[in-house]
Amino acid sequence: YVRKHVCFSKQNMRDISQSPLKNQDLIYCQNVLIYFRNELRHKILDELGDRLSLGGVLIIGAGEALNWSHPKLKRVDDKRALAFQRVHD
């Protein structure tokens, strides 16, 4: 049952804007962004945030989003994970 509702996708992080995937309920991108410079990291995070559906959640690794915010996302108050939820269209 779960397999029908899950999409695993390989993407080139530098070209995430070319991805056809949109309206995702959950994007799990942990411990990947540490390999990019801050400016590119923020651009990738912006693109991932734009691909979330309303109420969707982006989970990333601790320390991967220093000084980053997205106008449509809010930080999830949970000490177990660094997560952001889309709260605006």
DSSP secondary-structure letter at 36?
S
Report yes or no on 51 lying in a domain: yes
Using 50, 70 and 90 to split pLDDT, how confident is the model at 10? confident
Report yes or no on 87 lying in a domain: no
Report yes or no on 36 lying in a domain: yes
| Sequence-distant (≥ 6) Cβ neighbours of residue 33 within 8 angstroms | 13, 41, 44, 45, 60, 61, 64, 65
What pLDDT, in 10s, does the model give residues 54-78?
A: 999 999 999 898 899 999 999 999 9
Report yes or no on 88 lying in a domain: no
Residue 83 is which amino acid? A
Report yes or no on 10 lying in a domain: no
What pLDDT, in 10s, does the model give residues 41-55?
A: 999 999 999 999 999
The domain of 32 spans: 23-82
Using 50, 70 and 90 to split pLDDT, how confident is the model at 21? confident
- Per the structure, the count of domains in the chain is 1
Q: Tell me the CA end-to-end span of the chain in Å, nearest whole number.
A: 29
State how far the Cα of 1 lies from the Cα of 78, in Å rounded to an integer. 28
Report yes or no on 74 lying in a domain: yes
